[in-house]
A and B are shown apart, each in its own frame.
Chain A
Amino acid sequence: MKCTADIEARDLEEMNINIDPIQAGGRLTADAMKAIIAWGDGYSVCDNCRKPFRLDYIEKPAINVFHDDLAAFVGMDEARVVPGARRGFQAVAGTYVQKGDPVMLTGLSHYTEFLAVENTGGVPLEIPKDEKNIIRAGAAAEKLEEAVRTFGRPPVLLFIDHVDYQYGNLHEVKEIARVAHQYDVPVLLNGAYTVGILPVDGKALGVDFVVGSGHKSMAAPAPSGVLATTAERADEVFRTTTIKGDVTGRTFGLKEVEMMGCTLMGVTLMGMMASFPHVQERVNHWEEHLANGTLFVNALAAIEGTEIRSEMPRRHTLTRVDTTASFDRVAETHKKRGFFLSSALKKKGIVGVIPGATKVWKFNTYGLSRAQVEYLAAAYLEIAEENELSVSS
């Protein structure tokens, strides 16, 4: 089915169970879809923009209230909407990192954190993961000491992923923040996989910045996200312009430098706002989603040769699995080679795993109903048995 002459209608979610690891928390709510219908025009939120002409001051729709609610939602004092988590990283890096400054990341940091550092000319230093793929406070302390020895000063900023994108593992955020603060290093929490799907309290974690992704975890259209901070740091990262034109003498009032003026105009913001009440509510049901994820993980683990590479028991629904000794063994002799699995899944209405991937792959069951997860688990077990892999009870 086409929605225009040249553009297909995307009915992937209507026709299938989608376990793509990065898409699960970003699927829209009905209210977000309705907001898109009504607010799709480019400057739609700007009808009632009045002096001082800034997005977060708009009262109708209540964008100003939404900003306050967003900050409270992540346990911080001030928040801004941003075009994706990566632009939150960029704003914070742009505030604190100068060329040649050491910046702490981790061995599991998302590439966009590296790009934010590169953009400023900072020097990335990675805290190594341990053998269980967890970032520990002890390793952070050692790396901070090493940075001081090498650079003669501590890093200017530390990025820590709440849950990383590779394993979906939870890291020692609170302890790492405590260590970093002993060196006066501000800490940015990358909550792209947590803000909007499970409760996140930035102050309780002791971090200076919380960044979330609208399209990854807040049931919002892309690109959208949130950057929240403490009152102490707000004046720095949300500093307003001081520049002046040399010919015209123009100044630009209350525009925020790192936000490049206004950020999420129109449909991305309205989609995010429309989903927000649902997002606020759904984080209270995280344990149910986790239990659903565990059901599927256990089903996979029951297939002969399959190894779960993420931490166990699972504390997040994004999971990395190694099927080299199970489904990939089937692929060696199957006429469809590695594509047999994605092909068999597609026939059962399951998508989201990279076609041809039978060795190491990731999935995310967040947002699926219990019935859908049971169907998913049964489908994998069925495919395993059809291909003569034994399944333990």
Chain B
Amino acid sequence: MTQRAVDAIFQAMFLLTDLRVLMRETAPLHDLDEEQRAKASKALEKLKKQINTLEQELSR
């Protein structure tokens, strides 16, 4: 149970790190190309799942 929450925290931070690097790769204008937008969108989707897991694990 607790492991699931901790894993979700790490996973969320790792996904945010990928987004952070995307910001670096596209600085200073952050005009994302199609591939980068798809990558960002996928990371955000996964991030939402990790947040859901955290809500489930930590709110009971």
B13 touches A13 (CB 8 A): no
Cβ of A132 within 8 Å of any chain B Cβ, yes or no, is no
Residues of B near A375 (CB, < 8 A) are 28-29
**CB-CB under 8 A for A38 and B23, given A33-B17, A348-B28, A349-B28:** no
B13 touches A37 (CB 8 A): yes
Main secondary structure of the interface of A (DSSP, over half): helix
Assembled-state Cα–Cα distance A17/B21 (Å): 13
Assembled-state Cα–Cα distance A349/B26 (Å): 11
**CB-CB under 8 A for A38 and B10, given A14-B23, A30-B21:** yes
Cβ of B60 within 8 Å of any chain A Cβ, yes or no, is no
Chain A: which residue is nearest B33 at the CB level?
A371
**CB-CB under 8 A for A37 and B10, given A30-B17, A30-B18, A30-B21:** yes
Chain B: which residue is nearest A37 at the CB level?
B13
Cβ of A298 within 8 Å of any chain B Cβ, yes or no, is no
A37 touches B28 (CB 8 A): no
Residues of B near A13 (CB, < 8 A) are 24, 27
**CB-CB under 8 A for A349 and B21, given A37-B13, A38-B10:** no
Chain A: which residue is nearest B25 at the CB level?
A369
B28 touches A16 (CB 8 A): yes
B17 touches A349 (CB 8 A): no
Taking CB atoms and an 8 Å cut-off, the chain A residues in 141-163 that contact chain B are none
Cβ of A373 within 8 Å of any chain B Cβ, yes or no, is no
Taking CB atoms and an 8 Å cut-off, the chain B residues in 7-25 that contact chain A are 10, 13-14, 17-18, 20-21, 23-25
A349 touches B27 (CB 8 A): yes
Assembled-state Cα–Cα distance A375/B17 (Å): 25
Assembled-state Cα–Cα distance A17/B20 (Å): 14
Cβ of A15 within 8 Å of any chain B Cβ, yes or no, is yes
Q: Chain A CB within 10 Å — which of B10, B28, B29 has the most?
A: B28
Cβ of A350 within 8 Å of any chain B Cβ, yes or no, is yes
A15 touches B20 (CB 8 A): no
Assembled-state Cα–Cα distance A372/B23 (Å): 12
Assembled-state Cα–Cα distance A369/B25 (Å): 7
Residues of B near A38 (CB, < 8 A) are 10
Cβ of A215 within 8 Å of any chain B Cβ, yes or no, is no
Residues of B near A29 (CB, < 8 A) are 21
Cβ of A27 within 8 Å of any chain B Cβ, yes or no, is yes
Assembled-state Cα–Cα distance A33/B15 (Å): 11
Residues of A near B25 (CB, < 8 A) are 369
Cβ of A34 within 8 Å of any chain B Cβ, yes or no, is yes
B residues adjacent to A (C-beta < 8 A): 10, 13-14, 17-18, 20-21, 23-25, 27-29
The 9 closest A-B pairs by CB, nearest first: A349-B28, A14-B23, A30-B21, A33-B17, A13-B24, A34-B14, A37-B13, A16-B28, A34-B17
| Extra pairs beyond A16-B27, A34-B17, A348-B28 (11, CB < 8 Å) | A14-B27, A15-B27, A15-B28, A16-B28, A27-B24, A29-B21, A33-B21, A34-B13, A37-B13, A37-B14, A350-B28
